[in-house]
Amino acid sequence: MDASTSRPANVRLGAALFNGDHGRLADEVQRLESAGLDLIHLDVFDGYFVPDQGFSARTIAALRPLTRLPFEVHLGALDPRRFIHPLVEAGADLILFHIESVAMPFETLLFIREQKVRCGLAVSLGTPLSALEPLIADVDAVLLLSRVVGEGVRGASFDRRILPRVHALRAMVDAIQTDVDIQVAGGVKQEHVLELIAAGATTLAMGAGIYRVADMAAEVAAMRQLATYIERSAI
């Protein structure tokens, strides 16, 4: 990695609850917290922008008292503003809506900020990152997906085309000296940690893979050790 590349500190690790056992969601939430994760990634879909429907605000509200972990919502929906109030009331700490889902994303960002909740943008694989340039100073986070929206393949493999996109977004953020959480989701596993953090990612959201390991806490600890290695090597 080029010595001039910025390396983030305090990388966060999260997991998508959507990939857990939907018959035992309360247990899964507690399992994620016990494993030492930093956040819970919650998918909310409308059945149109994304064919699936993800979690409802009512379900999120029911789960909110069960953990102190932040609830970070990936909102894949047309007209995302209609979901904002219910999600805020349900306890969302961060709402990331798709830049592809609205004609005027800045107005939606402002609308979320008015609710006193952190806001961000989700970007599907294939969407030019240049679309973010007018907005990057006004977001708390950007979620880069290593697949197209609505792909419908749970546990699909990691797409390495995400790596240059993380590099490019890191350069964009550093150029304006702002603090933006660069998140990556979509097939992320332990073997991808070093490259993603080296590229500039600050949050990694695991999917189905984290639920399949024999010892989730040990897996999280191993990933955190890798993240610490990258951070120390940057000193």
pLDDT digits (tens, 9 = 90+) for 176-187: 999 999 999 999
Residue 149's pLDDT is 55
**pLDDT (average), residues 56-81:** 97
Contact 12, 41 (CB under 8 A): no
User: Does the pTM of the predicted model rise above 0.85?
Assistant: yes
Residue 2 in any domain: the answer is no
Residue 1 in any domain: the answer is no
pLDDT beyond 90 at 14: yes
Residue 9's pLDDT is 56
**pLDDT (average), residues 142-150:** 78
Q: Residue 155 maps to which CATH number?
A: 3.20.20.70
Residue 5's pLDDT is 45
pLDDT digits (tens, 9 = 90+) for 78-107: 999 999 999 999 999 999 999 999 999 999
pLDDT beyond 70 at 205: yes
pLDDT beyond 70 at 195: yes
Residue 4 in any domain: the answer is no
Q: How far apart are CA 191 and CA 6, in angstroms?
A: 21
- Rg of the chain over all Cα atoms, to the nearest angstrom: 17
Q: How many CB atoms lie within 10 A of CB 114?
A: 11
> How sure is the predictor about 233, in pLDDT bands with cuts at 50, 70 and 90?
low
The tally of domains found in the chain comes to 1
Residue 52's pLDDT is 85
Q: Which of 130, 132, 169, 162 is closest to 147 using CA atoms?
A: 162
Residue 3 in any domain: the answer is no
Residue type, 100: E
What domain range is 166 assigned to?
12-233
DSSP 160-222: TTHHHHHHHHHHHHHHTT---EEEEESS--GGGHHHHHHHT--EEEE-HHHHHSS-HHHHHHH
Phi, psi of 16 (to 5 degrees): -80, 115
Q: How far is CA 135 from the centre of its chain?
A: 18
pLDDT beyond 90 at 108: yes
Q: How far is CA 207 from the centre of its chain?
A: 10
Question: Is the sign of the CA dihedral 100, 185, 141, 78 positive or negative?
Answer: positive
Q: How far apart are CA 154 and CA 19, in angstroms?
A: 7
The least confident of 19-28, 146-155, 188-197 is 146-155
> How sure is the predictor about 235, in pLDDT bands with cuts at 50, 70 and 90?
very low
- Tell me the pLDDT of the chain averaged across its residues: 91
